[in-house]
Amino acid sequence: VRVMHELGAHTLMVTNAAGGLNPSYRPGDFMLLSDHINLPGMAGANPLVGTNDERFGTRFPALAKAYDAGLRQLAREVASKQADITLHEGVYVMVSGPSFETGAELKFLRAIGADAVGMSTAPEVVVARHAGMRVLGLSLITNTATGDDTEEVNHAEVLATADAARPRFTMLVRGILRGIANLPA
């Protein structure tokens, strides 16, 4: 992210595969990130730990508006013009993985306000916002993760859902990127 910033990038679009904590989310749906909960970061695994490099930003960057409202609006407009796109907006929570969550953990994550769970994204967003970049986050919901499931999630299921969503995901991302390219720098 820092290299992209130094090369002149001012906007970062992050994508991920996520489990749908929100019971209304279905595999194959998409979710715009309105905010995130960085559990590893709250436990000390924050990408900004260490000596601050002032080239990238201040020691204590504000993250209250980490996900750019204008970029989210652009993504909603693009999605509304495409067939077969169900686009939600919600809070993403990052866990460290690589194991999938227990039922009790999933219920906890729902209770603290998360709509989707994954194992990436938050560190990149923290670094991008530290550098003053605009950020758009997009999750592909690859499985339900409510804690009430009778079957355990597995990586093959995640990959199969991602593969099935590839054409819709590609159309959505291309449309968003075209829109971003037309925004003022």
> b/e string for 131-156 if b means 16 or more Cβ within 10 A?
bebbbbbbbbbbbbbbbeeeeebeee
- Rounded CA separation 185/168 (Å): 27
Domains identified in the chain and CATH numbers = 2-41+72-83+91-145+153-181 (3.40.50.1580)
Write down the pTM of the prediction.
0.93
**At residue 156, does pLDDT exceed 80?**
yes
Which of 9-18, 29-38, 46-55, 115-124 shows the lowest mean pLDDT across its residues?
46-55
Q: Stretch 105-118: mean pLDDT, rounded?
A: 96
pLDDT digits (tens, 9 = 90+) for 114-143: 999 999 999 999 999 999 999 999 999 999
**At residue 184, does pLDDT exceed 80?**
no
